[in-house]
């Protein structure tokens, strides 16, 4: 069994990682891959005509900071799995989160996607987070486990 675990540094994704580790150990998974997808904040730079060199420099800096933060999140998640006798790897992608997660899972033949739900109170509790809901709707192969 190949398990793809979505991590974003939130408490919900930490719970999803813990649950995925239990499942992977229990079924002796052949692989556990940790994925983080970040979406560049490019839209604000294209909403104005004539982007200045300073604005492009700022965009590049923001993008690099996003990538560094994503690498840190993946590194911390990988540390959690150390010593669990699991074959692990990390996947860092830039793009639309739900589409990219589903695409990677399909292309690489993952049997299960594990991700956290969004923890909200009140009426919003009835709804899943936008990424988890989209993955649940778009993934047509394998299983999707959403952890609260």
Pinpoint the alpha helices (H) of the chain.
11-27, 53-81, 97-107, 130-138
CA gap 42, 138 in Å, rounded:
25
CA gap 113, 34 in Å, rounded:
10
The confidence score (pLDDT) of residue 120 equals 35
Say if residues 62 and 56 touch (Cβ distance below 8 Å): no
Q: Which residues pair with 144 in a beta bridge?
A: 113
Which secondary structure element, helix H or strand E, spans residue 43, and what is its range? none
Tens of each residue's pLDDT in the chain, 148 residues: 999 999 999 999 999 999 999 999 999 999 999 999 988 766 555 555 667 778 778 888 888 998 999 999 999 999 999 989 999 999 999 999 999 999 999 999 999 999 998 733 344 444 446 899 999 999 999 999 999 8
The confidence score (pLDDT) of residue 43 equals 56
Single pTM value for the model: 0.86
The confidence score (pLDDT) of residue 34 equals 98
Which of these, 138, 131, 144, lies nearest to 102 by C-alpha position?
Answer: 138
- Domain span at residue 6 reads 2-147
Overall domain count for the chain: 1
The confidence score (pLDDT) of residue 72 equals 97
CA gap 51, 68 in Å, rounded:
25
CA neighbours within 13 Å on the CB side: how many for 78?
A: 16
Going by the DSSP 8-state scheme, the letter that residue 47 receives in this structure is S
Say if residues 8 and 132 touch (Cβ distance below 8 Å): no
The confidence score (pLDDT) of residue 125 equals 41
For residue 73, what is the domain's CATH number? 3.40.50.620
The confidence score (pLDDT) of residue 48 equals 56
pLDDT in tens, 52-75: 778 778 888 888 998 999 999 999
């Amino acid at each position: 069994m190949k398990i793809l675990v979505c991590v974003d540094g939130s408490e919900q994704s930490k719970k999803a990682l813990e649950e995925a580790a239990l499942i992977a150990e229990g079924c002796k998974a052949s692989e556990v891959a940790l994925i983080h997808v970040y979406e560049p904040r490019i839209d604000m730079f294209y909403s104005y005509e004539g982007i200045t060199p300073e604005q492009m420099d700022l965009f590049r800096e923001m993008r690099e900071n996003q990538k560094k933060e994503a690498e840190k999140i993946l590194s911390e998640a990988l540390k959690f799995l150390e010593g669990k006798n699991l074959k692990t790897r990390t996947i860092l992608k830039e793009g639309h989160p739900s589409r990219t997660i589903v695409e990677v899972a399909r292309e690489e033949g993952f049997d299960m996607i594990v991700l956290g739900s969004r923890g909200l109170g009140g009426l919003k509790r009835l709804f899943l987070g936008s990424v988890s809901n989209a993955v649940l709707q778009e993934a047509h192969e394998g299983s999707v486990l959403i952890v609260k």
